[in-house]
Amino acid sequence: MTAHRARTAGADAPGMTGSASELPWIEDAGKVAPKDARVLSRLFFDRLQLLEEGTPAHQYARNTLIEMNLSLVRFAAGRFRNRGSGDMEDIVQVGTIGLIKAIDRFDLSREVEFTSFAVPYIVGEIKRFFRDTSWAVHVPRRMQELRVDIAKAKESLSTEFDRDPTVPELAEQLGIGEDEVAEGIVAANGYTAGSLDMSSDPAGAGRLHPPGRTLADALGSPDPGMETVENLHTLAPLLGHLDARERRIIDMRFGQEMTQSQIGAELGISQMHVSRLLSRILQKLRSGMFVEE
């Protein structure tokens, strides 16, 4: 055995008795060579099933198995190195969860190599991580799975037809409706997000801060006049509910831009009365606009 010190557990491993004393004491299980790890793993699994869960001996055996087999996690994680923006450290941590699940569920009596048993657990956990976290925009799980099905069908049909398949062809291949295929294609756009600093020129795709126009340059800005238009559309029916005198006062004040004194002289009432009428009318209109929203 290489890269580790192994000795019989006993006096050097407090709390380990019985079956545990037959286990080698490994100073640094993470440095055990993969070939040695396979041999030692069978021994540790054999003893692990005899140890009481929660005891120091059981904890030592389980933790040692995890550390000895971390190379499986790193191997599986390497397949996802260039996928999305996932950090390798995060991927390894997620894969380790799969390794722990495999250790807790492995049974030597199945006569299956632990590596063959563990890798699907590790890869499955990593794939679940990407499925749940790597979408730039959150979409329902059904749409995430549909995206994968559409991608596989598209690849298969592209090879067969020597061109990109149409939506009806994809729908027939997958046995679903065309509307569902279209929905899945739209949802797939949420898988990755492009930078607003990316070039809007296809020739400059993939470059950040190019000398030409960026996508941000092509975005429109809020039109301050739009809010006025929306307010006028909301206000129009409310004006229709005012009586003739109220509409006339509004027209003189805001249409003809007359002063309150001029309106009072026109109607034969005091300026104070005009002020109170305007306040009441405007409050009625504001309340109506608030209800409409």
pLDDT at 221: 66
pLDDT at 229: 72
- List of residues 6+ apart from 120 with CB closer than 8 A: none
Q: How many CB atoms lie within 10 A of CB 85?
A: 9
Interatomic CA distance for residues 242 and 254, integer angstroms: 15
127 burial level (CB within 10 Å; 0-12, 13-18, 19+) = middle
pLDDT category of residue 287 using cuts at 50, 70 and 90 = confident
DSSP state of 252: I
Judged against a pLDDT cut of 50, whether residue 5 lies above it is answered with no
- Between 12 and 56, the more confident residue is 56
pLDDT category of residue 293 using cuts at 50, 70 and 90 = very low
Interatomic CA distance for residues 72 and 99, integer angstroms: 8
Domain ranges of the chain: 6-133, 141-208, 224-292
Q: Find tokens 């063959």 and name the residue.
A: 116
pLDDT at 109: 80
pLDDT tens, residue by residue, 146-205: 777 888 888 888 888 888 888 888 888 888 888 888 877 776 665 555 555 666 555 544
Interatomic CA distance for residues 251 and 257, integer angstroms: 8
Name residue 109's amino acid.
Answer: S
Considering the domain 141-208, what is its CATH architecture? Orthogonal Bundle (1.10)
What's the mean pLDDT when you consider all of the chain? 76
pLDDT tens, residue by residue, 198-256: 665 555 444 444 456 665 666 666 676 667 777 777 778 888 888 888 889 988 988 88
CA torsion through residues 259, 262, 268, 271, sign: positive
Domains 141-208 and 224-292 share a fold: yes
Judged against a pLDDT cut of 50, whether residue 9 lies above it is answered with no
pLDDT category of residue 89 using cuts at 50, 70 and 90 = confident
Measured N-to-C along each axis, helices 141-161 and 178-188 cross at an angle, to the nearest 10 degrees, of 100
Cα–Cα distances in angstroms (integers) from residue 171 to residues 89, 181, 228, in the given order: 39, 6, 45
Interatomic CA distance for residues 140 and 95, integer angstroms: 24
**Contact predicate 76/126, CB 8 Å:** yes
Interatomic CA distance for residues 206 and 112, integer angstroms: 46
pLDDT tens, residue by residue, 253-285: 888 889 999 999 988 999 999 899 989 988 888
**Contact predicate 91/129, CB 8 Å:** yes
Interatomic CA distance for residues 264 and 36, integer angstroms: 102
pTM exceeding the 0.75 threshold for the entire prediction = no
Residue 136, strand partner residues: none
Can you list the alpha helix ranges (DSSP code H) found in 17-134? 34-48, 56-68, 70-78, 88-105, 114-133
What backbone torsions phi and psi does residue 40 show, to the nearest 5 degrees?
-65, -35
pLDDT tens, residue by residue, 117-132: 889 989 888 888 877 6
pLDDT at 285: 83
pLDDT at 6: 42
- Between 36 and 102, the more confident residue is 102
pLDDT at 236: 80
The secondary structure of 120-142 as a DSSP string is: HHHHHHHHHHHHHH--SS---HH
Cα torsion through 188, 189, 195, 200, rounded to 10: 140
Tell me yes or no: is domain 6-133 CATH 1.20.120.1810: yes
CATH number for the segment(s) 224-292: 1.10.10.10
